[in-house]
Amino acid sequence: MFAERPFNDVWIEAVADEAGVSRGLVYHYFPNKRDFYAAIVRHGIEDTYRLTEPDESLPTAQWLPASINKFLDYVEANENAFRAVHRGQHSVDVEIQAVIREGHDKQIDRIANLVLPDDAKSPTLILALEGWMSLSNAMILDWLESRTIARDQLIELLSGSLAGVIATALTLLDRPDQIELLMHLAPDVYNKR
């Protein structure tokens, strides 16, 4: 409902009816509509975090495209919700932004720890990953609207842009030892450099 209508047009009573529960039960767990919406956003973020965990049963070279593919599966199954969170009017709400930021930071920490386990909090690397997260959300939103390229091309764009910002950050940090990691995570992209 939140993905299809403006926030103020969604009534908790309608949500309760759709879920087959009483309005009182919804209010028992969520004091107001904003808290309810924040819980929905948090749940989606937790799902995507879990889904994008690198699959260690795969060869390392498949981790990144496989994680992005799983994320896109989730996004396509929840297109309206993804749009609502990243473009919707309630995405400017401070509480909702905090929930989004929490998930965003968790994903950035995961990538940074993989790339630079000894210096995961490097401001250079964090800034690079922040930029990539914004870029990837923008690319995905545009792709959802237009579908002008194939999904596998989008996966390669997302993988390549991540590898590129990581390689640039590692070069700036004078960490050529870690750039070799990209040969394993994104060999197609790395070899095209």
What are the structural domains, with CATH classification, of the chain? 33-192 (1.10.357.10)
pTM over 0.85: no
**Who wins on pLDDT, 88 or 132?**
132
Say what the pLDDT of residue 26 is.
Answer: 87
- pLDDT-derived band at 138 (thresholds 50, 70, 90) equals very high
Cα R_g (the chain), whole angstroms: 19
Q: What is the largest CA-CA distance in the chain?
A: 59
- pLDDT-derived band at 159 (thresholds 50, 70, 90) equals very high
